[in-house]
Amino acid sequence: MTRTGDGGTVLGCSWHHAIGDLHSFALLLRAWSAAVEGEELPKAELVEDQDALLDRVLPAEDCGRPGFRVPGPEERAALDREVAAGPRANRIVQLYFADAEIARMREEFGAAAGHWVSSADAVCAHVTHTLRELDGDRENRWLTVPVNARRPLGLPDSLVGNLLGDIHLPYAPEDGPAALAGALRTAVRGYVEEHLNLRANLRFLAELGRPGLGACVPLGFDPRQRRITFSNWSRFGLYDATFQGQRPVFFSPAANYPIPWVCWTVEGFGGTGLLTTAALPARLAARLRGTEGRAALHRYRDPSDELPDLLAAVTRVL
């Protein structure tokens, strides 16, 4: 915790997925806030044997495709080099989208897809498409989107643990962002039937055994194939935490070790709009920050859109 000269506070938190996911972290933050404010603590359920719980609630068969793989020696060496070079080769870029421009994205993408899409669907599709466009990448690629599996499995929101699944979608740039937003919403709706793979994961890891666990990597980590992993951290109530009557003005992942092609989206300054934090190769990050990149990213923005006072917000944070 850092106290700033004007009496503000910057709070840095870290967690490990072996203990819990962002849902669990947000639950901890709400409980912490309630304790400080003298309010009733939110319900939290701790399950000692999460594997046994999953065995009870998971269908007997899932999609059968594990979310992990074991790279060969050559790829393993390349991945090791990618990780080692991360801080030198990659940069962090933050992209703020106002509520009005998100609404325009949703309207256009939903009309083209023929069904409703969420704000997170629209921003994920728009950013993914724009990254490909600015990178000059015309190849078919994969997009990985983590999923909070509690609600699809009928588990309570109070359950603490790491209950993440993932969706893996192929994406052809010529299809455009509307098709990707529509496909993502369809995948979320059909997650249990088409994408659920927790049993497949458990089988895959059990067959590797403890000595082999260090050799596997998530499917989403594939920088040579420019595979983007896009996490949605919005709607977890992170801006609702209150400490001594004060609400947060800014929340963001620190991403202090930039592994490329990883993105997180959360509500922006004061809980408005959406803010995407992206770890990208340095050259592409520079293009996003330039005139061409800003124009492409904000093609749905109108001059009349009301934007937060970013200078005031940053001043309050710093």
Neighbouring CB atoms inside 10 A of 56's CB total 6
Taking residue 197's Cβ as centre, other Cβ atoms within 10 Å add up to 23
Domain of residue 19 covers 2-317
pLDDT at 306: 81
At residue 312, the pLDDT reads 47
Q: β-strand 9-10 against 141-148: which pairing, if any?
A: unpaired
pLDDT-based confidence at residue 310 (cuts at 50, 70, 90)? low
What mean pLDDT is reported for the chain?
A: 93
Residue 107, helix vs strand vs coil: helix
Q: How far apart are CA 178 and CA 195, in angstroms?
A: 21
Can you give the pLDDT at residue 314?
Answer: 45
Spatial separation of the C-alpha atoms in residues 153 and 151, rounded to whole Å: 5
Q: How far apart are CA 128 and CA 165, in angstroms?
A: 20
Q: What is the pTM of this model?
A: 0.94
Number of structural domains (the chain) is: 1
At 303 the pLDDT is 87
CATH code (residue 180)? 3.30.559.10
Residue 8: pLDDT above 50? Answer: yes
Residue 318 binned pLDDT confidence (cut-offs 50, 70, 90): very low
**Tens of pLDDT, residues 20-40:** 999 999 999 999 999 999 999
pLDDT at 166: 96
The model's confidence at residue 277, banded by pLDDT at 50, 70 and 90, is: very high
Counting residues of the chain whose pLDDT is more than 90, the rounded percentage is 86
Query: In this predicted model, what pLDDT tens digit does every residue of 200-220 receive, in sequence order?
Result: 999 999 999 988 998 999 999
Burial of 251 (0-12, 13-18, 19+ CB in 10 A): buried
